[in-house]
Structure 1
Amino acid sequence: MEKILILGASGFIGNALYKELCSYFDTYGTYFTDNPSLEKNQHFYQYDLETENIDILLENIQPTIIISALRGNFNAQIAAHFTIINYLQHHKSRLIFISSANVFDAFTNFPSYEYDKTLSQSIYGRFKIKIENALLRLPNEKYNILRLPMVFGQDSPRIKDLKNMLYLGEAIEVFPNVVINVTEAEHFARQVHYIINRKKNGVFHLGSSDLVHQKDFIEEVCHTLGYPNPLFKNVYDSNNDRFLAVLPKDNLLPKNLELSVQQVVNASIKV
């Protein structure tokens, strides 16, 4: 049986992964903030990214699969991932790295595919690229890079923030000229389960198969929540449509694991 360590398992995405995988694999996770319920769970370890060395945890657990859903200081994350990469080179193990569509945010004319060149104008995108480039130097069987667009879900931070702004009647910032795709945490966790089971290697783009303007998506979510006339603040950073979307071309998943924009809306509101 695979022994899986989820770094950042107490976060929104990490928790969805833990719930999906723990019944099928010997699964462990890390958390940062003091949590009495997790302290009693012998499969969870408290880990401070900025003050602790990850190699101690790796040697204690000896995972065959490491899933990185870490958040926090970028420099500390880079150091931790380079330590993990060194661990991979000396152990029969691989890293599933959760990356972002932002590694392509300097390209705006088209959606991006798995093996397109990465180039980012944002600090966040460049940070992800640095870790990706280090992984791409490893043998294929040592890593997966999973690039995600914006992630939603019933208890997602984005949906919670949106509900709060709707309740308070505050203006919601939207981007009418930005074309995106989206995903949902529980569905993403099932996709990861498939990738682990089938021992898939390489880079995956795990967003919805269709695209939508960001404003239209937020408007649909608001309507589904029961707010037909939300207050929007339109932000135009371009005269033309620009794309921030990741689509698959080389590494396709089965049809039952594909996802549509409407499914993301429904799953996020539990329609």
Structure 2
Amino acid sequence: MNTKLEKERILILGGSGFIGNAIYKELLSYFDVHCTYCRQSGAFSENHVFHKYCVAEDSLFLLLHKIQPTVIISAFKGDYKSQFEAHQQIANYALLHSNCSVIYISSSEVFDGKFSHPSFENDLTLSESVSGKFKISIEKLLLEVIPSQTTILRLPMVLGINSPQILHLRQCIRHRAAFEVFPNLVITTTTINKICQQIHYIINQSLRGIYHLASNDMVHHEDLFNEISSKIGDKMPIFKSVFSSNEDRYAAILPKENRLPNPHQITVAQVIEDCVLNEEIISIK
């Protein structure tokens, strides 16, 4: 018996990246999933559902019409000009295919020009960074051209056992190296596992709009990594405190208008637990 749900053909742009590949593994058993990769790799090039696509070199138009996806998940990187043009092609494809939805993986950077309070889904975006301004431009493009087919997923800091930051933290602990923390920065966070579960639910329920896939509570950046480090083992990294102001600054996004059901929510305590899960097994290896 075929377990795939053929009604959805999903294309993950950036399926070889940390987030994109985790989404691929989550959805693979349930949908007809296709992914893209850019850098040559045997692991991806030998997988028939992975398609070589480098945003600055290859035609997304041809790839879209070859695969005919009903869900496009945008989680790829590249120079901003090429990325913007690619998202214009995505919007044009969706206009011609009303059954196609677009999920754009955005981030809390769209609010990095605000520091006095956390941000919710319907707050006006404001960014000081080039990356944040770019993400705002993609959000606006999709919400203006294909509003009824667009889902914006804004992510906070994404952690987990194999996340880049936790791997870096372990290296710093092992070698007694410096790990930067921001004592006055208040953030929200989540795990890669929770994001994948949430995206699976969002696809199943055909949800549209803006979602903040972040913890329901906030934590100081320094306290978060202090607690994770203390749970990983007896040794600690050398914490290098970086102060950007004398008062608390918020880089936190919170779910409010579009809250997912309780099983699909997460707390800071659960994030910490997920980051040190099976730590004894990992340390033995």
Equivalent of residue 33 in structure 1, options 25, 34, 39: 39
Amino acid across the alignment from 2:78: G
Equivalent of residue 188 in structure 1, options 184, 195, 200: 195
Name the CA distance, whole Å, in 1 between partners of 2:54 and 2:175: 35
Equivalent of residue 129 in structure 1, options 136, 145, 148: 136
Are 2:268 and 1:261 equivalent residues in the alignment?
Answer: yes
Amino acid across the alignment from 1:244: A
Cα contact 1:4–1:28 (8 A) shared by 2: yes
Alignment of 1:133-212 (within 5 A): 133-212=140-219
SS of residue in 2 equivalent to 1:158: helix
Q: 1:225 aligns to what? A: 232
* TM-score, length of structure 1 as denominator length: 0.97
Name the CA distance, whole Å, in 2 between partners of 1:186 and 1:12: 11
* TM-score, length of structure 2 as denominator length: 0.92
Cα contact 1:208–1:259 (8 A) shared by 2: yes
Q: Give the drift of 1:32.
A: 1.4
Q: 1:65 aligns to what? A: 71
Are 2:66 and 1:76 equivalent residues in the alignment?
Answer: no
Are 2:235 and 1:235 equivalent residues in the alignment?
Answer: no
Name the CA distance, whole Å, in 1 between partners of 2:235 and 2:167: 18
List per-residue Cα deviations over 1:103-150 (Å, max 9, x = no partner): 001111111000100010011100100101111213432110000001
Give the alignment's Cα RMSD to 1 decimal: 1.2
SS of residue in 1 equivalent to 2:145: coil
Name the CA distance, whole Å, in 1 between partners of 2:205 and 2:138: 24
Alignment of 1:14-33 (within 5 A): 14-33=20-39
- Count of aligned pairs: 271
Q: 2:3 aligns to what? A: none
Are 2:92 and 1:86 equivalent residues in the alignment?
Answer: yes
Point out the more displaced range, 161-170 or 60-69. Answer: 161-170
Name the CA distance, whole Å, in 1 between partners of 2:146 and 2:89: 17
Q: Give the drift of 1:153.
A: 1.5
Point out the more displaced range, 32-41 or 141-150. Answer: 32-41
Amino acid across the alignment from 1:85: A
Are 2:119 and 1:108 equivalent residues in the alignment?
Answer: no
Name the CA distance, whole Å, in 2 between partners of 1:211 and 1:5: 33
Name the CA distance, whole Å, in 2 between partners of 1:82 and 1:5: 16
List per-residue Cα deviations over 1:213-262 (Å, max 9, x = no partner): 00001111111221454311111111110111111111110001110112
Name the CA distance, whole Å, in 1 between partners of 2:57 and 2:74: 18
Name the CA distance, whole Å, in 2 between partners of 1:20 and 1:246: 24
**Unaligned runs of at least 5 residues, structure 1:** none
Q: Which runs of 4+ in 1 moved over 3 A?
A: none
Cα contact 1:49–1:76 (8 A) shared by 2: yes
Cα contact 2:9–2:31 (8 A) shared by 1: yes
List per-residue Cα deviations over 1:185-238 (Å, max 9, x = no partner): 111011001111111110000011110000001111111221454311111111
**Percent identical:** 45
Q: 2:10 aligns to what? A: 4
Cα contact 2:158–2:189 (8 A) shared by 1: yes
Name the CA distance, whole Å, in 1 between partners of 2:234 and 2:191: 21
Equivalent of residue 54 in structure 2, options 38, 41, 48: 48
Point out the more displaced range, 137-146 or 257-266. Answer: 137-146
